[in-house]
Structure 1
Amino acid sequence: MMNLPLNTTDLWLLGLTALTILNLILVVVLSAQKSKLRRQLKRWQTIHETADLDAIYERTLKRVENADEVIANLTASMHALELAVRTKVSTPKVKRYNAFSDTGSDLSFSVALVDDTQTGIVLSSIYGREESRTYGKPVVNGESAYPLTDEEADVLSLAPSASGRRPVKTV
């Protein structure tokens, strides 16, 4: 092989060839990126008539604000409903018993109709051979201004309370 001396023109030509190859590689890479961006733009355009991202962003913000307002309204409604449910009569509790030994079965009963704060009424029906009587005793926070019988106190203790405890107090 023969060693040829490189002159300045040859060096310039070799450098320009390397730069041309480098530019060609850059053009191919940029062309691929441009194609990818074009596909993304077409996808956006199929979602919305325009690819106006600012308008899409504004619509999205308004929808989020509306959703936040709806959530706040629903939360307030839920709290109002929870309060209303706590002050409604819970599942009535009934206790049947034999009030007198001369009657044959458990025909007397007591019913607790109270809310979660143990406020409401206890109804009792006492059945006897000659007559029957029905009584109602108001209850506030598990207490009655009237003396509760053992059966009335028992049925009130079965009724649910907000604290999970079943406060039964007779005055």
Structure 2
Amino acid sequence: MAMGLSILQPYALDIALGSGFVSILCLIVAVAALSRSARLKRKFARLKEITSAADLEMVFEDTKDAVRKLEAKLREAEERLRELDEALQSKVSTPAILRYNAFAEVGSDLSYSVALVDGKGDGVVITSIYGREDSVTYGKPVQRGDSPYMLTEEERAVIEEALHGAPQTRSTAQIS
């Protein structure tokens, strides 16, 4: 056995340096492993604090319940909005009036037509014709933007204005 070790004796310094290098390398790996282990322990401790404060499954179930309640409220709000939109369609939104000179001998725009219609075009058009000797006021029912009675040009224009919001540009009409 002494002979076996004597063969290694000339390489003793190399073996010692190699062993030292391997030891230092092992020390570096051990420090890195301890550092990583410490980080994992800190993360685990934080996770443990969270689970001790509130059960994660309970938090998840509570969140799901809250989302379900919000979805139900959203559906209710959408339904209510649809109902309000339908109700709004049956209300007179913007009445329109058109004044005009019905007769050439009367010098002012004293005659008028007023349309009171909802979003569907249902309602009434009221017309007042002013003359020197007398004045006449009458109303005509309006259904879907038209009437079963004959409409004048002014009545059609004021109905269009009430339905679409833009006044119809045209010259003053003369009715005779």
Q: TM range, normalised to the smaller chain?
A: 0.7 to 0.9
Selected match of 2:11 from 3, 6, 12? 3
Distance across 2 between alignment mates of 1:111 and 1:37: 77
* 2:114 aligned partner: 111
* 1:30 aligned partner: 37
**Cα deviation per residue 1:76-125 (whole Å; 9 max; x = unaligned)?**
11111111112211211110011122222101100111112211110111
- Counterpart secondary structure, 2:102: coil
- Counterpart check, 1:59 vs 2:62: yes
TM-score, L = length of structure 2: 0.73
Distance across 2 between alignment mates of 1:6 and 1:103: 128
* 2:124 aligned partner: 121
Distance across 2 between alignment mates of 1:18 and 1:157: 91
Change beyond 3 A, Cα 1:61–1:124: same
- Counterpart secondary structure, 2:141: strand
Higher helix share: 2
Q: CA RMSD in A?
A: 3.2
* 1:153 aligned partner: 156
Distance across 1 between alignment mates of 2:24 and 2:100: 109
Selected match of 1:72 from 66, 75, 87? 75
Identity rate of aligned residues, in percent?
37
Selected match of 1:144 from 147, 153, 157? 147
Question: Is the Cα–Cα contact under 8 Å of residues 41 and 51 in structure 1 kept in the other structure?
Answer: no
Change beyond 3 A, Cα 1:109–1:57: same
Range with bigger deviation, 68-77 or 129-138: 129-138
Structure 1: tracts of 5 or more residues without a match: 167-171
How far does residue 66 in structure 1 lie from its aligned partner after superposition?
Answer: 0.2
Q: How many residue pairs are counted as aligned between the two chains? A: 155
How far does residue 38 in structure 1 lie from its aligned partner after superposition?
Answer: 2.9
How far does residue 132 in structure 1 lie from its aligned partner after superposition?
Answer: 1.9
TM-score, L = length of structure 1: 0.75
Give, as a single letter, the amino acid of the residue that structure 1 aligns with 2:69.
N
- Counterpart secondary structure, 1:160: helix
Give, as a single letter, the amino acid of the residue that structure 1 aligns with 2:39.
A
Question: Is the Cα–Cα contact under 8 Å of residues 118 and 142 in structure 1 kept in the other structure?
Answer: yes
